[in-house]
Amino acid sequence: MVTFIIRRILLCIPVLLGVTFIVFMMMHIIPGDPAVIMAGEAARPEQIEQMRYQLGLNDPVLTQYFRYLGNLLRGDMGNSIRSGVPVSQELFEVRFWTTMQLAIFASIASVLLGLMIGIVSVVWRRSFLDVVLMLIALMGLSIPNFLTGVLLMFFFAVNLGWLPVAGWGDPQHIIMPVIMLGVSGSAIIARMTRASMMEVFNQDYIRTAYAKGASERIVIFRHALRNALIPVITVVGLQFGGLLSGAMLTETIFAINGMGRVIIQSLNTRDFPLAQGAILICAAMFVLVNMIVDIAYRFVNKRIDVA
């Protein structure tokens, strides 16, 4: 197991290097000149050229990349063009942890609700309840997230006044964004759980367990659910990685100062260092989550050898 974990960590290094290069090149492709933004629209050409020299924008792209990579290894992600604050300080003081909280709460809600619906659907498989639950899950997948958020805001914040319209900090602020993200997430997990468990129920060892007199609860939780968790873990990992990458629509609708919102704001204002740092952190977190998912496979089933 230790060798497997070390191998997965080592494999992440070239992936992260590739991510840094792609993110760096993306910022150079986006229209807009950082020198013009920092010098001001009214700046003279010689002032803009001086700013380009100070920023090192006249150097070859590869030289700029390796300089950026060297600064990154020292923990220096540059300074925000608009505020002048170091990017790492701007992101990690509030925004990253806000998105982390949102991702954790939404993932917990999705997993608990999705597993519960999926298991109940399997226990009552091919019944009227099974059909109803799967129809509800299909509706959860079909309704766009932004529409769910707007409807939640309209009913619970505007009409009833039970919850605050926007913001983050109090426990009441968590409810609507978590529901908005949890609806589609739990629907995917529920359908995946049901499909995986139904496939497992066709295996010989399940019939053997029933033949030995095992109860329905033991068969479902000890045999069927554990062996059906592999695809479910994959879905949960991808969802959590996506949430850590910044739930842009959710954070925009509810005015949450998280990673998704800062990416949109920084791109709109052409604050390239801030956008570059935010995208890089999100991509790195996605790689990390995928590594954790691979390790989780081995804990669920030690016979699995993930390359």
Residue 80 lies in a domain: no
Residue 259 lies in a domain: yes
Residue-level length of the chain: 307
Indicate whether 179 and 260 sit together in one domain: yes
Task: Please give the Cα distance from 167 to 145 (Å, whole number).
Answer: 18
Domain range for 14: 2-73
Indicate whether 139 and 259 sit together in one domain: yes
Residue 9 lies in a domain: yes
Domain count across the chain: 2
Residue 230 main-chain phi, psi, to 5 deg: -55, -55
Q: How does pLDDT run across 46-97, given as a tens digit for each residue?
A: 777 777 776 677 777 788 888 888 888 888 887 777 777 888 888 887 788 8
Indicate whether 103 and 9 sit together in one domain: no
Q: How does pLDDT run across 98-153, given as a tens digit for each residue?
A: 888 888 888 898 888 888 888 888 888 788 888 888 888 888 888 887 788 888 88
Indicate whether 220 and 284 sit together in one domain: yes
Residue 81 lies in a domain: no
Query: Of residues 271 and 152, which shows the higher confidence score?
Result: 152
- pTM score of the predicted model: 0.77
> Which residues are within 8 A (CB) of 21 and not within 5 positions of it... i.e. 6 or more apart?
65
